[in-house]
């Protein structure tokens, strides 16, 4: 069975490069352009991160899946105490 690679991106790396943070500023962009399009799936945690990946790699935006990070809302403890109407 062939190995399937899934990429999960959590940061807008363009912002890091604009700030000039780290030595990856020169090496990462060409690596991303070569490898991301070959992945079985590319997953971003926000629309902004997905847009950044598409811009940086040349991948079609539709090829990048967005799965948002969960966020705790203030009403969750109250909702957790309510009865569930599901078998």
pLDDT digits (tens, 9 = 90+) for 15-53: 655 556 666 667 788 889 999 999 999 999 999 999 999
pLDDT of residue 29: 81
pLDDT of residue 13: 74
Q: Which residue has the higher pLDDT, 6 or 16?
A: 6
pLDDT of residue 15: 67
Predicted confidence band of residue 64 (pLDDT cuts 50, 70, 90): very high
Nearest CA to 46 among 27, 64, 66, 63? 66
User: Cα separation of 52 and 67, whole Å?
Assistant: 15
Q: How is the chain split into domains, by residue range?
A: 6-80
End-to-end CA distance of the chain: 39
For the chain, helix (H) and strand (E) counts, in that order, are 4, 3
Tokens of 64: 């990048």
């Amino acid at each position: 069975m062939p190995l399937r690679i899934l990429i999960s991106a959590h940061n807008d790396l363009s912002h890091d490069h604009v700030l000039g943070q780290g030595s990856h500023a020169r090496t990462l962009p060409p690596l991303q352009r070569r490898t991301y399009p070959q992945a079985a799936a590319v997953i971003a945690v926000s629309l902004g991160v997905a847009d950044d990946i598409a811009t940086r790699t040349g991948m079609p935006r539709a090829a990048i899946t967005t799965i948002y990070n969960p966020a705790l809302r203030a009403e969750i403890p109250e909702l957790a105490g309510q009865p569930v109407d599901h078998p």
